[in-house]
Amino acid sequence: MSPDLLLFGASERIMPGDVLFFGLLFVLSFLTGRLFCGWVCPAGALQDFCIDINKKPARNKWNWIKMIPFIPWMIFYVFFVIHTGGFKQYDFFYKRAFGISITGTNEWWMYLDTVLLVFLKTVLTGKRGICHYLCWISPFMIIGGKVRDLLRIPSLRLVTQPDLCNDCGLCTRKCPMSLPIEELLVNGQIYHSECTLCATCIDTCVKGAIKFGFRNSLRKHRSVNLSYNNILWC
């Protein structure tokens, strides 16, 4: 999951395993969105443990900030690949001993610094602050989700029944990504690039107004009065 190893590898004409990992996340986002962020990501888990320290909602209007380092990172990577003449070899364990990157004192310090950054950023900025402002992995899935919706590809989503909602606000207060769930669910589907499909809103909704479903996007034909006969409920 290292953004640096991509650049180091490209400069030596080596494709590290990280390329496969990031590419896999992009492809999987067509079917599962940002499910990785809500269920697998270790940095996400650490941030969730920090919620009891700072329950302040993050500011979703600043989500675009994480694209500032991501775009030049990708540009530099493509530049290195082209400038060096492409790849000569593929090394899944590039700069890793037996697949583990923490093999020496320097690597341990880098790891601990990263953990400290995630912890402090979350405590200072609120729930899942890293996910909103600094994550270099989520843009792969966000872009994949945009392409998926453009192509109208069915995928795992949170589908809703607005008529069951009693406006208690519990789903919004509990959402780890600080999303206005009450406002989003009126469209028959939770559509937001920061949604990680963590299912917290499903667990907290006492009326059962939100469930997992596999379908395409409703964004282009929003309507409060929706028919739910064609929604796949899980």
For 86-144, the pLDDT digits (tens) are 899 998 888 776 666 666 777 788 788 888 989 998 898 889 999 999 898 999 999 99
Find out whether 191 and 184 touch, Cβ atoms under 8 Å: yes
139 and 158 co-located in one domain: no
12 and 62 co-located in one domain: yes
User: What CATH number corresponds to the domain at position 211?
Assistant: 3.30.70.3270
Model pTM?
0.84
70 and 102 co-located in one domain: yes
Handedness of CA 73, 78, 81, 83 (dihedral sign): negative
Look at residue 185 and tell me if it is in a domain: yes
Residue-range definition of the domain harbouring residue 189? 154-221
53 and 161 co-located in one domain: no
49 and 139 co-located in one domain: yes
pLDDT, tens digit, for every residue of 154-201?
999 999 999 999 999 999 999 999 999 999 999 899 989 999 999 999
In three-state secondary structure terms, 190 is coil
How many domains is the chain partitioned into structurally?
2
138 and 187 co-located in one domain: no
Q: Which H or E element spans position 80?
A: helix 67-83
Find out whether 30 and 105 touch, Cβ atoms under 8 Å: no
